[in-house]
């Protein structure tokens, strides 16, 4: 099938349009976060003794909620945050159109090389964020999601860009849609989960230092975030919800491998790091379910798992040669 150069060119235009929109959203979210009145944490009682989980439950009282008290006036930063959310929705739609045009230009799903994978991954991250925002106020998270999306798109258009072309034979399978779509959705959610986990560590450190009466160099940011226990619970729910889908993605990949290469598993670098990632996320969920780990210890495991995922995505594809090299640049 011939490549439709017109669709391919319009796809590139929509990619750059989405990047411009994400840039506007980034500045709007930055203004919103900087303008938000932080919450004041006043010690309500001495810190609770070290719990069996290895964490410290901090007894604190939130005096000012995130965004300021509900005094009838529009809280500072809310308008900029609303603009950021609206423009992020626009950017997500533009990027989705870019992906659709890329696929139409070659008559296939747009997942045939690292450039297309990166566009799809950025779209998945953004889509996960805006969908989550339908049920809760996530303006405080916006800048920490938009920046990774912009970096991914920037890497895609400057380093990974590949002209639209047909798939290599090994990729011509309906399992491409099943396996890759599941992996991409997980990647988007894992990225949002990692951002929430990092912000939990900031908020937790700020609360601990507030109770101890010690200064904290990220105190301004910590006060503008939700309570650490809420962030910890949110990160856990994201990871717990996505882990079964990641398991399915690995199983689907094994079935595809049997169809393409005649074996379900061969310890190819991509397969190996996908399994390592699965083990790391399983360890995170297992630690929370059995050992009762919450807070910082569990967060470290979650970030290690996300690091394995990122290495599997970039490092294995770009630095290591294996059977999955066809999905490289």
- In the chain, where the domains are located: 1-36+76-166, 168-329
Radius of gyration of the chain measured on its C-alpha atoms: 22
Each residue's pLDDT tens digit, 17-58 = 999 999 999 999 999 998 877 666 544 333 333 333 344 444
Among 25-34, 111-120, 136-145, 304-313, whose mean pLDDT is lowest? Answer: 111-120
Question: Which three-class secondary structure string do you get for the chain?
Answer: CCCCHHHHHHHHHHHHHHHHHHHHHHHHHHHHHHHCCCCCEEECCCCCCCCCCCCCCCCEEECCCCCCCCCCCCCCCHHHHHHHHHHHHHHHHHHHHHHHHHHHHHCCCCCCCHHHHHHHHHHHHHHHHHHHCCCCCCHHHHHHHHHHHHHHHHHHHHCCCCCCCCCCHHHCCCHHHHHHHHHHHHHHHHHHHHHHHHHHHHHHHHHHHHHHCCCCCCHHHHCCCCCHHHHHHHHHHHHHHHHHHHHHHHHHHHHHHHHHHCCCCCCCHHHHHHHHHHHHHHHHHHHHHHHCCCCHHHHHHHHHHHHHHHHHHHHHHHHCCCHHHHHCC
Each residue's pLDDT tens digit, 135-160 = 888 899 999 999 999 999 999 999 88
Structure tokens of 141?
A: 């998270």
Among 100-114, 188-202, 311-325, whose mean pLDDT is lowest? Answer: 311-325
**143 contacts 30 by C-beta, under 8 angstroms:** yes
Kindly report the length of the chain.
329
Mean pLDDT value across residues 214-227: 87
Kindly report the pTM of this predicted structure: 0.82
- Confidence at residue 180, expressed as pLDDT on a 0 to 100 scale: 86
| Whether the predicted pLDDT of 60 surpasses 60 | no
Query: What is the C-alpha separation between 112 and 171, in angstroms, rounded?
Result: 7
- Confidence at residue 106, expressed as pLDDT on a 0 to 100 scale: 86
**Mean residue pLDDT across the chain:** 82
pLDDT band at 328 (very low <50, low <70, confident <90, very high): very low
| Whether the predicted pLDDT of 165 surpasses 90 | no
- Confidence at residue 155, expressed as pLDDT on a 0 to 100 scale: 92
Angle at 136 between CA 297 and CA 148, to 5 degrees: 60
CATH code at 1-36+76-166: 1.20.120
Mean pLDDT value across residues 101-117: 87
Among 2-6, 24-28, 150-154, 215-219, whose mean pLDDT is lowest? Answer: 2-6
- Confidence at residue 278, expressed as pLDDT on a 0 to 100 scale: 95
- Confidence at residue 61, expressed as pLDDT on a 0 to 100 scale: 36
- Confidence at residue 56, expressed as pLDDT on a 0 to 100 scale: 42
Query: What is the C-alpha separation between 78 and 81, in angstroms, rounded?
Result: 5
Mean pLDDT value across residues 191-205: 94
């Amino acid at each position: 099938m011939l490549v439709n150069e017109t669709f391919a060119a319009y796809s590139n235009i929509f990619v750059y349009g989405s990047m411009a929109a994400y840039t506007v959203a980034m500045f709007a979210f930055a203004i919103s976060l900087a303008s938000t009145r932080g919450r004041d944490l006043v010690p309500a009682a001495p810190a609770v003794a070290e719990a069996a989980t290895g964490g410290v439950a901090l007894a604190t009282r939130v005096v000012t909620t995130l965004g300021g008290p509900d005094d009838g006036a529009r809280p500072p930063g809310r308008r900029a945050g609303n603009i950021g959310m609206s423009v992020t929705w626009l950017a997500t739609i533009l990027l989705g159109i870019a992906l659709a045009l890329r696929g139409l230009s070659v008559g296939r799903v747009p997942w045939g090389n690292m450039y297309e994978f990166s566009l799809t991954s950025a779209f998945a991250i953004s889509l996960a964020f805006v969908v989550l925002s339908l049920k809760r106020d996530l303006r405080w998270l916006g800048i920490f999601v938009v920046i990774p999306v912009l970096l991914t798109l920037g890497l895609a258009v400057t380093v990974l860009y590949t002209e639209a072309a047909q798939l290599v034979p090994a990729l011509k399978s309906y399992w491409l849609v099943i396996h890759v779509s599941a992996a991409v959705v997980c990647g988007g959610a894992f990225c949002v989960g990692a951002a929430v986990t990092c912000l939990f560590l900031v908020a937790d450190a700020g609360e601990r230092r507030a109770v101890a009466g010690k200064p904290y160099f990220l105190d301004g940011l910590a006060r503008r975030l939700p309570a650490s226990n809420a962030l910890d619970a949110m990160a856990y729910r994201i990871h717990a919800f996505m882990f079964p889908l990641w398991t399915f993605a690995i199983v689907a990949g094994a079935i595809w491998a049997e169809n393409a290469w005649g074996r379900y598993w061969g310890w190819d670098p991509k397969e190996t790091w996908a399994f390592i990632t699965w083990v790391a996320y399983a360890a995170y969920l297992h630690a929370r379910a059995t050992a009762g780990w919450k807070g910082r210890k569990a967060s470290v495991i979650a970030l290690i798992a996300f690091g394995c995922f990122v290495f599997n995505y970039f490092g294995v594809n770009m630095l290591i040669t294996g059977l999955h090299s066809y999905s490289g640049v």
